């Protein structure tokens, strides 16, 4: 994993490709997530589009309050005046026009696959080669992010999720899926197979048939991390 404490090794090609193809989508996805939850406390750049005009702004969202500040010296002054007039600033008549905020473009599915990669590497660091060896479908999905190798693997964590460390592994059992491993990656989660003796295709087929909107409940504790930095290959 690039940066920070070295927990597990990946090949140079995979690590570089993940950064340029997958992980660049995580930031925008988290920005939208924080905006929707009202936890966007650090101003981010955005475009305020009012009718045919757009200006650069700085945006925060705290609770139910959204604050939009003009980004200094970043927009056409005439466009700023037209936007202010359309919004009825300074007592002017407010025009009936469409208003939207543009955060830029990102790929939600690739952001989820980047989270899958983080969870996969965390499980590798915790459980070793013997655990990840059967996860052929996961590796295929990471290698082919534009294809749907695995239909469902991402979990949306609600605001009541306990405050565990940013990376947490848990074990549990879910209806339709059976025994499974959950990797919590900051505010997202991914589901992974339990330790297997065969391949992982049947696990993902069961997951694809499970009810949509299913609520996962797990009991137990955090698996923790190895206390030393000494690792051994499985037999």
One domain for residues 152 and 86: no
Position 65 in a domain: yes
Two tokens at 88? 């009825």
151 and 202 fall within a common domain: yes
Residues 80 and 146 in one domain: no
Q: Are residues 70 and 147 in the same domain?
A: no
What is the three-class DSSP state of 84? helix
Considering the domain architecture, whether residues 117 and 200 belong to the same structural domain is answered as yes
Q: Give the count of domains, the chain.
A: 2
pTM: 0.73
Round the average pLDDT of the chain to a whole number and report it: 79
Clarify whether residues 132 and 150 are in a common domain: yes
83 lies in some domain: yes
- Out of 102, 123, 154, a domain closes at 102
The per-residue pLDDT for range 197-225, each reduced to its tens digit, is 788 999 999 888 877 666 666 655 566 55
pLDDT digits (tens, 9 = 90+) for 64-109: 898 988 888 888 888 888 888 888 776 666 666 788 888 777 788 9
Residue 130 falls within a domain, yes or no?
Answer: yes
Within-domain flag for 232: no
Confidence check: pLDDT of 15 > 80: no
How many whole angstroms separate alpha carbon 203 and alpha carbon 164?
Answer: 26
| Residue 213: per-residue pLDDT | 67
Q: Is 11 part of a structural domain of the chain?
A: no
Structural domain span for residue 91: 38-102
């Amino acid at each position: 994993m690039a940066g920070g404490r070295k927990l597990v090794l990946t090949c140079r090609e995979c690590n570089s490709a993940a950064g340029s193809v997958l992980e660049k989508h995580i930031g925008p996805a988290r920005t939208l997530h924080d905006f929707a939850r009202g936890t966007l406390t650090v101003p981010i750049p955005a475009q305020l589009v009012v009718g045919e005009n757009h200006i650069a702004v700085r945006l925060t969202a705290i609770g139910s309050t959204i604050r939009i500040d003009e980004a200094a010296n970043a927009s056409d002054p005439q466009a700023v005046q037209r936007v202010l007039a359309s919004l009825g600033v300074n007592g002017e008549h407010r025009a009936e026009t469409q208003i939207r905020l543009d955060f830029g473009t990102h790929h939600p599915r690739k952001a989820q696959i980047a989270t899958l990669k983080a969870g996969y590497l965390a499980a590798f660091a915790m459980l070793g080669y013997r655990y990840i060896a059967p996860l052929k479908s996961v590796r295929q999905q990471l290698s082919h992010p534009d294809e749907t190798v695995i239909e469902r693997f991402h979990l949306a964590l609600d605001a009541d999720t306990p405050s565990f460390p940013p990376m947490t592994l848990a074990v549990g059992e879910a209806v339709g899926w059976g025994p499974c491993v959950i990797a919590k990656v900051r505010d997202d989660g991914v589901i992974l197979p339990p330790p297997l003796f065969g391949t992982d295709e049947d696990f993902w087929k069961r997951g694809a048939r499970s009810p949509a909107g299913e609520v996962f409940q797990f009991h137990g504790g955090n698996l923790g991390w190895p206390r030393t930095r000494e690792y051994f290959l499985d037999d």
